[in-house]
Amino acid sequence: MKEKILRALHSAGGRFVSGAWLCEQFGVSRQAVWKNIVSLKENGFEIESVTKKGYRLSAVPDKLYAPDILSRLPEDCICRKAECFQTIDSTNTKAKQLAELGAEEGTLVMAEEQTAGKGRRGRNWESEPGVGIWMTLLLRPALLPVKVSGLTLLAALALVRAVKDICGVEAEIKWPNDVIVAKKKICGILTEMSSEENYVHYVVVGIGINANTTSFSREVEETATSLYLQTGRKTDRAGLTAAWIEKFCSYYETFLKIQDLSFVIDEYNQVLANRDKEVRVYYGMYRQTSLENTEVGIARGIDSDGALLVEIEGQVKRIVSGEVSVRGLHGYV
């Protein structure tokens, strides 16, 4: 009911929505509508109620509130269930637990704070309370396991689009899964799956967005930034969350139909930070400091499988994510 009321109030775009109309639409009593309005107000939503006019949404709180996020999504979006935790170890861990218990595709887990946020390659992900967007979407895709890494690329591309729409910022992608602004990371993506050789049980796409973070630990401060630090404006976290889900789900549906990334190659390559620049490919251990097992080439873009095409001594090599890391010659990008 709260989701439905918020959907009606959001769609009204600041105009009043009559109480009688809400009752009729949802087939409930005036009292039931009022009870939900009171609960929304308790959750920080500023809703004016004026006799004979109805209700008007005048301000939304800066929090990730599940009915609010769902109310901003198209009704046919695959994301139909969401839960937001104040504090949790990791939204990926929670989403995997829910998946094992049979949760349906499109279940979203969000948290205001993660106490054990997970990064790639066993690293930790800083997840301070109230300033970021820490969320995981559970999917049950009809894809071969080898294709699942494409979801990470689509998640990054969806974020670039969402950041442009909501914050007016031109972000770029550091292949395969970092979204950057001014050469620093604003978002990381951790995709995990449970599969058999030729069958995917489920995938969790975890995305961490540094929205309003004001400072980072020593360890990451050189490579990390936030949308707030870049723009000087507070990010609308709920708006950005919904924009990412909507865009990602729409890419996801096309990906399932086509089964490759041909439909986004151009779009992706346009925002690829390293495109036509020199990169060093590290085939060995991640974060190695020696240049052993590395090669230098020019990144040319992705192919329809999401591999990075790198021109090395006149030959184009396909670099597959997960096997290697790619960095700029003079630093992170």
Would you tell me which residues interact with ligand BTN (CB under 6 A)? 90-92, 114, 117-120, 123, 125, 127, 134-136, 178, 188-190, 206-208
Count of helices and strands (H, E) across the chain: 9, 14
Tell me how far, at minimum, the Cβ of 319 lies from ligand BTN, in Å. Answer: 18
Q: How many residues does the chain have?
A: 333
Please identify, using beta-carbon distances, which residue of 89 and 105 lies nearer to ligand BTN. Answer: 89
CB of 155 to ligand BTN, least distance (A): 10
Q: Cβ of residue 321: shortest distance to ligand BTN, in angstroms?
A: 12
Cα–Cα–Cα angle for 107, 193, 239, rounded to 5 degrees: 40
Nearer to ligand BTN, 134 or 282 (CB): 134
* Nearer Cβ to ligand BTN (36/225): 225
Which residue lies nearest ligand BTN, judged by its C-beta? 188
Q: Any alpha helices (H) in the chain, and if so which ranges?
A: 2-11, 19-26, 30-42, 66-71, 91-100, 149-167, 227-231, 237-258, 265-270
Judged by beta carbon, residue 107 or residue 127, the one nearer ligand BTN is 127
Contact 118, 93 (CB under 8 A): yes
C-beta of 125 vs 216, nearer to ligand BTN: 125
Q: Helix, strand, or coil here: 16?
A: coil
Q: Considering the complex, what minimum distance in angstroms separates the CB of residue 136 from ligand BTN?
A: 5
Nearest to 128 by CA among 228, 232, 214, 234: 214
What CA–CA distance (Å, rounded) separates 223 from 179? 11
Q: How far is the CB of 185 from ligand BTN (least distance, A)?
A: 7
Which tokens in the block code for residue 60? 């939304």
